[in-house]
Structure 1
Amino acid sequence: MIRIRFFASLREKLGFDEIEYEYAGEKTITDIKHKLIEQGEPWTLLAEEDVLIALNQTLSSETTAVNDGDEIAFFPPVTGG
């Protein structure tokens, strides 16, 4: 099982803050992200180019390898001023 968390505007638009994803041997974050996006709306939000990703609380790229028991977080870029 992989815990997937959503923060800030992604959480608001999706309507929930986390899901449990049944790990099926996916190799990378990209594999999981594409399976979510294939489900259609509202998951297509994850296709936006500026969505950031963390794996086990470390900023990561989409090509980062995943394992059963990991935590993936999706969040919009942080802005401030």
Structure 2
Amino acid sequence: MIDILYFAWLRERIGHGRERLETTAPTVAALVEELRARDERHALAFADIAALRVAVDQELTDFDAPLKGAREVAFFPPMTGG
């Protein structure tokens, strides 16, 4: 099982901030494809992954990062300073 966390507008589009699911996805990108296929809300949220950042087990990474042994994946928009 893996915990998936959604922040900011992702949470709004999907309708919740967290879900737990079973996946065999080898990478974050493969997980995104599984999520897109779940329903229209997920498809909309993940329509443009260039507009997203990802962290695996609380470490920033990229979408080709492996998921083997991961317990948590978090998706969020890029952060801006100010």
TM range (shorter): 0.7 to 0.9
Fraction of identical pairs, as percent: 32
Amino acid at match of 1:78: M
Give distance in 2, aligned partners of 1:51 and 1:20. 20
Moved over 6 A (4+): none
Q: Say which structure is richer in helix.
A: 2
Give distance in 2, aligned partners of 1:3 and 1:77. 20
Report the equivalent of 1:53: 54
Long gaps (5+) in structure 1: none
Shift of 1:79: 2.3
Long gaps (5+) in structure 2: none
Shift of 1:75: 0.3
Question: How well do the aligned residues superpose, as a CA RMSD in angstroms?
Answer: 1.4
TM-score normalised to structure 2 length: 0.86
Amino acid at match of 2:40: E
